[in-house]
Amino acid sequence: MKPKYVYVNTLGCQMNVYDSRQIVSELTAIGYEKTPFIENADLIVLNTCSVREKAEQKAFSFLGRLASLKKKKPALMVGVGGCVAQQEGKNILKRMPFVDIVFGTHAIGRLARQVERIEKKRCRIVDIDVATDNDLDSIRFQEINTSDFVTIMQGCDNFCTYCVVPHVRGRETSRLPDQIVEEIENLTVIGLREVTLLGQNVNSYGQKEAFCSFPELLSKVNAIDNLWRIRFTTSHPKDLSQALIDSFRHLDKLCHHIHLPVQSGSNRVLKKMNRNYTREIYQEKVAALRDACPDIAITSDMIVGFPGETQSDFQDTLDLIRAVEFDGLFAFAYSDRPGVPASRFREKINTAEKKERLQTLLNLQEQMTKKQNQALIGATELVLVEGISKKQESTDTSDGDEHQQWTGRTSTNKIVNFTWHQSPPLDAEASNGAASPAHMAVGTLLTIKIEKAFSHSLLGKPLEIQTSPFGKKGENYYAA
């Protein structure tokens, strides 16, 4: 039987990355194999994001380029999933007549069944029903990385006035804690060492269903054998509890990093955004986090140019950035999203002004991030190796050895690049049992001394290998 190939293009957040893995797994069950080459595909799936206008434009631009490919391969099947699919539904079929299936954020578990229907009947399908008989509790995966994502809940109940998420992913629904723990346990068996727990607002996990609290879930995950690190995203400041703050003090596997979106430094704008906290409350929670975990890295999201944002409001945002000294920011110029209250607000900020404010904010944050990174020069950091650095390929030296720059992350989520000096294994007696770096791989833990700092990364020299974050093996690293 001739193999069938699926090509998946993922746009947007970590949750979409997670969903794409589920999409591949569902299709593998009916005979598809994943391919990195779009021209080889029998089925192309675009997993979309609609949180920002630019991401939605990127989705339709990609689909537009598929029209010529569909003409060359009439049997090619094209599917559109994710938030744009949930939002636009049958309008996508009207706009893109070569698309065969549009499936929403709750329909992934039905995708294989729908694809088989199209194969047999050559029909076109829209499936954006929120109700599902194959939901988050029946997730299955075949691929796994050393560091990966696990969704613990879906949807959002906060209804920030600018946000489309509750409209495309529905209301909050949490998975059973035992099912989450079981999934992570199964993944550690095949190599998972760092897990990121995903939800639109993980801080409110389990509240509606009367499950355990999010800090209690973290404690359960912390007890999993062979798991080294725990991360989570995203947190809503209004639901950041003292119990969760204390988790950074007590849980040894919880990474010293939190992404805590603030969106604006102006109380007036925060009220219009329906964020339900003030900048003063936000700063109090930041202080509590740093009291519990002095080296914690705090990153955030900012929106500039929200309708009605004055220069004074924008200055409040810049002042908050200076006061908090974030380790990093994801900043965006406001854009109207379909059906959300802010799209009907007056006093829109013009595009040129939004761009100018965004650049001013980014310039300020870049200075702060570089300053914080420079403070780490000379320090030693435990780094989980993720793979070869995208910035540098391996090079051969005159002595025949190979120098290769690799990359990993610290507990505080700092990117660290370092040279991996591949050489013949050291003489066993002379090395006193030390492992050769040629035998190390993705998932290795290295103690690295930081030698240089840049705006978005660090550069260091490996000192030793560790078998886990909780007990050093004490092996000397043969560094370049």
pLDDT (tens digit, 9 = 90+) per residue, 123-155?
Answer: 899 998 875 444 444 444 445 578 889 999 999
Is residue 290 scored above 90 in pLDDT? yes
Peptide bond into 410 cis (omega under 30): no
Tens of pLDDT along 201-232? 999 999 999 999 999 999 999 999 999 999 99
Structure confidence at residue 168 as a pLDDT band (50, 70, 90): confident
User: What's the CATH number of domain 146-374, 3.30.470.30, 3.40.50.2300, 3.40.50.620, 3.80.30.20?
Assistant: 3.80.30.20
- Check if 146-374 and 380-476 are the same fold: no
DSSP per-residue letters across 374-418: HTTTT-EEEEEEEEE-TT---EE-TTS-EEEEEEEE-TT--EEEE
Does the domain spanning 4-127 belong to CATH 3.40.50.12160? yes
- Residue 461 pLDDT: 93
Q: In the numeric block, which tokens belong to residue 362?
A: 């980014």
Rounded CA separation 297/426 (Å): 38
Would you kindly state where each structural domain of the chain is located, as residue ranges? 4-127, 146-374, 380-476
Work out the mean pLDDT of the chain and round it to a whole number.
87
Tens of pLDDT along 295-307? 999 999 999 999 9
Is residue 197 scored above 80 in pLDDT? yes
The answer for 87, left when phi > 0, alpha when psi is -120 to 50, beta otherwise, is alpha
Rounded CA separation 89/73 (Å): 25
- Mean predicted confidence (pLDDT) in 255-273: 98
Residues 444, 465: contact at Cβ < 8 Å? yes
Tell me the HSE value of 406 on the side-chain side, using a 13 A CA sphere. 27
- Residue 12 pLDDT: 84
Structure confidence at residue 1 as a pLDDT band (50, 70, 90): low
The pTM of the full predicted model, rounded to 2 decimals, is: 0.77
Residues 459, 450: contact at Cβ < 8 Å? yes
- Mean predicted confidence (pLDDT) in 464-469: 78
> Among 103, 111, 93, 81, which residue's Cα sits nearest to residue 16?
81
Q: In the numeric block, which tokens belong to residue 439?
A: 């035998």
- Residue 390 pLDDT: 74
- Mean predicted confidence (pLDDT) in 274-292: 98
Q: Specify the CATH number of the domain 380-476.
A: 2.40.50
User: Which one is predicted more confidently, 428 or 186?
Assistant: 186
